[in-house]
Chains A and B, each alone.
Chain A
Amino acid sequence: MPVNKIKSLAGIVIPDSTIATQATELLLTHGTEFIYNHSLRVFLFSSLNGKRNNLQYDAELLYVASVFHDLGLTKHYSSPDLRFEVDGANAARDFLKSHGLPKESLQLVWDTIALHTTIGVAEHKENEVALMYSGVGLDVMGDGYENLSAEHREEIIHAFPRNDFKKNIIPTFFGGFEHKTETTFGNIKADVCAFMTPNFHRKNFCDCILHSPWSE
């Protein structure tokens, strides 16, 4: 896959600092074309939302967070037992640490990635966290689709095609955590396990309460 040479798209500059370029290379090495296109669309959608709402945010951190946000699904970054979101967050933190970023930035990027699937919380956090969550929501579920102009949509999809997204994203997600389905308890990815696994047994919070070791 050729390294992305696009400098800007839909009015959004794609960061090209050393950090940004190295992050992109990691995504190209360890991700698929499908995840690469999705991640770049997420960055662009997030940035467009930031621009539309006049939000202040660090474009480079948002870019690195977007590039790493699904890398926890890949063989290289996937742990045996942690949520894939946390694997991606840890990988991004290690990467940024090696570039000497301050600990506040490390935590911000960690949160941005770790919480990108946490409905009802991410949108109330720091701008980078809220923006990437909005970009993921738009690309995956079409949240805020009406705010995206047809022109921007076409331009972005032309550069980063959806590759039959609806058909491929659910199996792609599942491939990233089928060895640790218990990590989806209490989050939206449990629905992916139920979709992909016949008779998938969901852990249930009420059962956990009623059958705890406490006597009452």
Chain B
Amino acid sequence: MTISGKTIAGIKIPDSAMASQATELLREHGSELLYNHTLRVFLFASLNGQQNNLRYDPELLYVSTMFHDLGLTVHYRSDDKRFEVDGANAARDFLRGYGVSPQSLQLVWDTIALHTSPGIAEYKEPEVALLNYGAALDVIGKGYDQLSNANREEIIKHFPRNELKKNMINTFFDGFKHKPHTTYGSINADICACMIPGFQRKDYCDLILHSPWSE
């Protein structure tokens, strides 16, 4: 079953060789939960772009979306970097193989690396803002009111939520439980605190007050 070129909720899934290959990588390395989440994120992001008449590159948005959580997977995760950065690096390497311009590489890198940075991503380039929007809608329901019932149902029918509320925290945690320190200063520190009994968060004020500076 291929989804390339299909139109769902009025949004066409890009069908270039590059887009199809990115989809294949997601199918190969991601779980069904991540696959369905990722496709919903693309559709939500695109609907928002359409609603706000934003100019963006659908193919770059699509590839960014395909890779946005791949840094959580065994194949793409590093021992020491944030999972967002692992996904961003993987997408950049992937796109280099297609001769994409340095500006587009950086744009995709930023789109993925910043998709969990509230208060910043939404003010960057449209692709960055849109992926953040789609991910936030799917994960925490931000902007849920702007999604029509018809679009919501059509999207969920194609890409079911697979009990996201029950499964997503665990899925996130699996992706970085070997490096919980990489969640310091990000929303994912809350995931570690949920999942690790007695998890000690690093504290910014402690770091300031105990720095090697004398005053």
Q: Would you call B209 an interface residue if the criterion is a C-beta within 8 Å of the partner chain's C-beta atoms?
A: yes
Complex: chain B residue closest to A85, CB-CB: B120
Closest to A187 in B: B185
Near B by CB (< 8 A), chain A positions 127-159 give: 140-142, 145
State the Cβ distance, A197 to closest chain B Cβ, in Å.
12
Known A86-B120, A142-B213, A212-B139: A124·B113 in contact at CB below 8 Å: yes
Complex formed: what's the CA distance from A162 to B140 in Å? 42
Residue among B124, B168, B169, B191 with the highest chain A CB neighbour number at 10 A? B124
- C-alpha gap A118/B124 in the complex (Å): 14
How far is A85 from B114 in the complex, measured between Cα atoms in Å? 15
| A90 CA / B190 CA spacing, docked (Å) | 29
- The A interface, classified by DSSP as helix, strand, loop or mixed, is helix
Q: Which of A86, A111, A119, A145 contacts B119 (CB 8 A)?
A: A86
Partner of B141 from A194, A195, A213 at Cβ < 8 Å: A213
B140:A192 contact, CB within 8 angstroms: no
User: Which residues of A have CB within 8 Å of B89?
Assistant: 124
Chain B contributes a number of interface residues (CB within 8 A of A) equal to 51
The complex places the Cα of A213 from the Cα of B190 at a distance, in Å, of 20
Judge whether B85 and A124 touch: CB under 8 Å. Answer: yes
Q: Are A206 and B169 in contact (CB under 8 A)?
A: yes
B140 & A120 in contact (Cβ 8 Å cutoff):
no
A208 surroundings in chain B (CB, below 8 A): 139-140
Shortest C-beta distance, B191 to chain A (Å), equals: 6
Q: Contacts A86-B123, A212-B139, A213-B141 known; A121 to B208 CB distance under 8 Å? A: no
* Bound-state Cα–Cα, A89 to B121, Å: 13
Which residues of chain A are near B205, meaning CB under 8 Å?
170, 191-192, 194-195
One digit per residue, 1 when the CB lies within 8 angstroms of any chain A CB and 0 when it does not, for chain B 96-126 equals 0000000100100110011011111001110
Stretch at the interface among B6-14, B52-60, B62-70, B157-165: B157-165
**Chain B residue at minimal CB-CB distance from A139:** B213
Interface residues on A, range: 35 or more
Candidates B109, B119, B193; contact of A187 at CB < 8 Å: B119
> Are B113 and A216 in touch, CB under 8 angstroms?
no
B182 at the interface (CB under 8 A from A): yes
Is the C-beta of B77 less than 8 angstroms from some C-beta in chain A?
Answer: no
A45 shortest CB reach to chain B, Å: 12
* Nearest chain B CB to A163 CB, angstrom units: 8
Q: Which residue from chain B places its CB closest to the CB of A167 in the assembled complex?
A: B215
Chain A residues within 8 Å of B194, by CB: 206
Within residues 183 to 209 of chain A, which ones have a CB less than 8 A from any CB in chain B?
A: 183, 185-189, 191-192, 194-195, 204-206, 208-209
Instruction: Pick the residue among B118, B163, B203, B207 that contacts A186 (CB under 8 A).
Output: B118
Whether B123 pairs with A114 at a CB distance below 8 angstroms is yes
Q: How far is the CA of A82 from the CA of B122 in the complex (A)?
A: 11
Q: Is the CB of A191 within 8 A of B215?
A: no
CA distance A185 to B136 in the complex (A): 14
Residue pairs across A and B with Cβ atoms less than 8 A apart, 21 shown, are: A86-B120, A86-B123, A111-B110, A115-B120, A118-B120, A119-B184, A121-B84, A124-B113, A164-B215, A166-B209, A166-B213, A185-B118, A185-B119, A186-B117, A186-B118, A187-B117, A191-B203, A204-B193, A209-B140, A209-B168, A212-B141
Residues in chain B within 8 A of chain A (CB atoms): 81-82, 84-85, 88-89, 103, 106, 109-110, 113-114, 116-120, 123-125, 139-141, 144, 161, 163-166, 168-169, 182, 184-188, 190-191, 193-194, 203-205, 207-209, 211-213, 215
Known contacts A86-B123, A89-B123, A187-B185; 16 additional CB pairs below 8 A are A86-B119, A107-B125, A111-B124, A114-B120, A120-B186, A121-B82, A121-B84, A124-B85, A145-B212, A165-B215, A183-B119, A187-B117, A187-B119, A194-B205, A205-B140, A205-B190
